[in-house]
Amino acid sequence: MQKLLTLLQVNDSMFPIGSFTHSYGLESYVNAGIVHDNASAAEYARTMLEHSIYYNDAAFLYKTLALAGGKKGWDQLTELDTLVTALKAPYEIRDASKKLAIRFLKLANELKVYPICKKYAEAIQTEALHGHYAIAFGLYVKAAGITTEDALSAFYYNTLNGIITNCAKTVPISQTAGQKILFLLQPVITKLVNKQKDMDEQQLGLCCIGQEIKCMQHEKLYTRIYIS
């Protein structure tokens, strides 16, 4: 029960790390009129899960959960952090990942300190490593004894919840419509979690080019309400 409660707390959308300030390109899609109603919001959310999150942040989380212990594990972590930094091409997305990692680790370490999480936080602060939220989250839940399946399921769900919340604010869609989309896409999350371990290593960081372009365009929007 304690492990479940810990997962629910650190993965809650109200966990104050500033994730609500990032739309990850959605604002550009709305500005272009591509995401404009319930149907397009649902399609956008599904596409993000299947063609972006699966190959990127969820995959980075999975690799973090599979890290070895000791010095070998730290060396693997260093390589993963460097790789993730290279794969996140848009500046806003790379910067968002770092900011969320720092805030997550700062707050999570106030709840319970795990040596590996403290070491990663210090490496980010000294700029020895860049820092990424998926890695930070993975380190903490792994240290807390959360299973891979539960960690991935929670991560996918909270990511989807963030997408829907942003759609409600910017499209806009109603809260009811948003909840229907969340429920409709539950089987998609289950499918992605079940096949995460089988993802081809060569597909790690697979680019969802439309999203990356919209993220880059977001940097130059005349008016915007999100940081990314």
pLDDT tens-digit profile of 183-224? 999 999 999 999 999 999 999 988 777 787 877 777 777 677
d(CA 123, CA 129): 5
Place of tokens 């990032």: 22
Which has the minimum average pLDDT: 68-77, 127-136, 208-217? 208-217
Rounded to the nearest 10 degrees, the angle between the axes of helix 133-143 and helix 2-10 is: 170
- At 198, list the tokens: 């089988």
d(CA 126, CA 14): 28
Angle at 104 between CA 99 and CA 106, to 5 degrees: 100
Task: Walk me through the domains of the chain, giving residue ranges and CATH numbers.
Answer: 20-218 (1.10.4190.10)
75-103 per-residue burial string, b: 16 or more CB within 10 A, e: under 16: eebeebbeebeebbebebbbebbbbbbbb
The pTM for the full model equals 0.95
Which has the minimum average pLDDT: 28-37, 46-55, 68-77, 152-161? 28-37
- How much is the pLDDT for 29? 87
